[in-house]
A and B are shown apart, each in its own frame.
Chain A
Amino acid sequence: MQSGDKNIQWYQTKFKAFEQSLNGEKAAAVHSLRRDAMRWFAELGFPTTRQEEWRFTNVLPISKLEFHPILRFESNGITRDRMRPYLIEGAIQLVFINGMYASELSDRGALQRDVIAGGLSDIMKKNPEKIKPYLANQVKGEENGFTALNTAFLRDGACILVPRDIVLERPIQMLFVASDSSFPYLSQPRNLIIAGVHSQFKIAETFVGVAQNTYLTNSVTEIVLEDQAIVEHDKVQRESLNAYHIGTTHLRMNAGSSYTSNVFSLGGSIVRNNNSVELAAEGIECTLNGLSLGAGTQVIDNHTAIDHAMPHCNSHELYKAILDGASKGVFNGKIFVRKDAQKTDAKQTNKTLLLSDDTTINTKPQLEIFADDVKCTHGATIGQLDAEQVFYLRSRGIDLASARDILTFAFAADIVNRVTIEPLRAQLEEAIQRGLKQSHRV
């Protein structure tokens, strides 16, 4: 534990410097959250493979390094031109550099009445009363070392507040750009998304590394869907292949609301997505989809947890992975069905396509059911490309390599086609086609 202790000290020192820089802001309520979280971090440290939740994903490469927390905005030479391939045309674009809101690079256009969308730090100052009931309500920082670290250095991130009855015509994009750097740094966006009663909108969360440097993105996103709200949330992660990405999303859903999440993991060296959903009332529809593309020595871990607390809720889950090279995939899908959650309909599917002999997948459905009138199913498949399908394509004149590409892309397209933000889907298709071609060459 020597190196672990040393590591905790590194962040404690950084925290002290951060506190000193805050001056008067230290009195703000948010700072007591930070202090608590720092204490938790000192107790928890980074997770190890001895913990069940982290058994298959070793974050030692992360805990060994000394990352510099980014607490101040700097553009680091990032221009809109540079971001062009990742921006979603027609969307409300919120841009962040290393986790800090870049208002100059953002394009909010004319926001619809009463809609708030921008940097959390600004909005916390301007509308503290709107933030207070929600911030760190679902993720306090005591969950694990990563959420503790995020909360301890809570500074900025995306904040989207859509009041009741508002239907957003344009999707909202949160583009998190990681700049190049000569030292390893820590980007920790803290995002808050509140969908008011009867509101409806789509959000795209894009993470992009513009260089091949080493950094850690450790993001935490808290989302609340009030009654009858409808939200599509697409997350596309294209970090540098030398970067680490830990993404935690906690979602609370209220009566009759509907949420669809599509999580695409393309980049990153070690990637962990924690996606937790609380179905807190009746009549909820929750859909969680994911697609991971692993190559080289990438480790891509998706942990999902759906808590059916109330009756008459449906959850559907489809996570897919395409693994090549010596990459590793992890899927852990928890579904809790509590005593009162009668008439629950929960379906979980995990499918993995292995393109090489050196890949590993650990898949674990974890269903805990305490109600007696429910429908819960789960299934996992792991396999290679279907030889019959490959032959069918070849028998029509398509060469072996193209047949494999077509079938592999079709496996991915199943998830890509669920994204309804058209320009994002086009970006994804291109990135995935390119990613698959590259991985074949390795």
Chain B
Amino acid sequence: MLGPGVAWYLAIAAFLFTVGGLGVLLRRNPLIVLLSLELMLNAANLTLIAFARQHGSLDGQIFALAVMAVAASEVVVGLGLVVAMARRNVELDTDRLTTLRG
């Protein structure tokens, strides 16, 4: 098997996932939150593909494709919402969007 071992891929994926997770938790700009979400999803994709390579099975790759499709749709909706908010001059700060509190 050429290239670095699976452990490296997993390490990078874990790093990306942590960065993404912290971004979602700490940042308040919805654009950055969406971006961080994408990072987390792609970290998960990376682990899927790494394990697929290790086991020599295509299942993980196919699953990663499915995740990409879902991520794409999610970005469409998310960015659409962000654009709509910007157009209505709503402040782009997730902590201020608390209309749905109980």
- Same complex origin of A and B: no
